[in-house]
Amino acid sequence: MTSIHITFLEEVAEVGRASRRGALARVALYIALVTAWIATSGSLYMSEVLGWVPCLWCWYQRVAMYPLACVIALGLLARDRNLPQYMLGLAVPGILASTYHILLQKVPFFARFESCRVGVPCSVDYLNWLGFITIPMLAWAAFAIIMVAAVLALRAREEDFLAEGLLPGLSPAFSVVVLVAAVVAMFALSGALNARQHSSPSSALSTPDAAMSQTLPPAGTSSEAARIYNESCIGCHGPAGPGTAYIRDEFLRSKSDLALLSFMRAGRAANAPDNFSGMAMPANGGRIGLSDAQVLALIRYLREARGLQPPAP
């Protein structure tokens, strides 16, 4: 009698443990869903809104992360029990690519293997939060969260935990749609706000006359030049100043403003005869829609940052 009693109690406890394991796995999968969508939208925000050109290794990580956003959503919607395996299949290569990219950026030894000869150097950071957090580190963390969720879901495989949505009573379809829509709306909104802020007419920089005459736009525009530089050029060239990479003093000193303007418009191919680094300078520095005045302000900003004078006319 007592033994039956004990078995029954054990069974109740086991069911409790199992349902806790299932609930944990379910919440973890929804956290993974949100993570993958933040990573995907965030990377599109950086390339499409901020104009940061993704490097080769960023692309490898995108190749793993973008499908994860869809696969996790579809897996939850279809209540597919194999979802954790699909997630691991994408997240493991993804985290390996992030790890290698972090090593490229942080360990001088690895920088010599850098495979980006054309386009954006992989070893330069666009983002450096708190002095050390870079984009591949964020990607690494996202892949890690997704892997942990997949492992928790694998452990709860026996449970029927995909039947419900994020919270008991919510359907998976409702949970997925609301969460994905919230993340996408958040990034779309900040993209729209960013575009509005930057399209507001800004004083001297937008006057074409100032651009085409040899006179540079009047003072007060260097802060906009600094902003454009930090958004579009810093990724390849590093901070403006004496240490700027791939921009020679001699080039800024010997060329007239108009010669530099036409250089900027054309860029320089990696195999051009006068290329000295083996890497391409994209036309307009890869930034679409810069006015002549903005380019001239950038040139002046580069010269000022190094204390250089334009050549005498």
Total residue length of the chain: 313
Instruction: Find the residue with minimal CB distance to ligand HEC.
Output: 285
Out of 21, 62, 268, 300, which residue is the one contacting ligand HEC (CB under 6 A)? 268
The gap from C-alpha 131 to its chain's centroid, in whole angstroms, comes to 17
**Is residue 21 a contact residue for ligand HEC (CB under 6 A)?**
no
CB of residue 23 to ligand HEC, shortest distance in Å: 47
Q: What is the pattern of x (binds ligand HEC, CB under 6 A) and - over residues 43-62?
A: ----------x---------
Return the amino acid letter for 7.
T
Closest CA to 146 of 293, 56, 29: 29
Q: CA-CA distance, 252 to 265, in Å (whole number)?
A: 15
Computed on alpha carbons and rounded to an integer, the radius of gyration of the chain in Å comes to 26
Q: Whose CA is closest to 143, among 110, 177, 101?
A: 101
Rounded to an integer, what distance in angstroms lies between the CA atom of residue 68 and that of residue 39?
Answer: 10
Using the minimum distance from each CB to ligand HEC, give the nearer residue, 26 or 287.
287
Report the residue from 233, 261, 297, 305 that binds ligand HEC according to the rule CB under 6 A: 233
Cβ proximity to ligand HEC, 90 vs 298, nearer residue = 298
Tokens representing 295? 């380019």
Amino acid at 255: K
Q: Fill in the per-residue mask, 116 to 135: x = in contact with ligand HEC (CB under 6 A), - = not in contact.
A: ---xx---------------
Query: In this chain, which stretch among 92-100, 125-133, 159-167, 280-288 interacts with ligand HEC, using CB under 6 A?
Result: 280-288
| Contact positions vs ligand HEC (CB under 6 A) | 53, 119-120, 232-233, 235-237, 246-248, 251, 268, 275-277, 279, 281-282, 285-287, 298
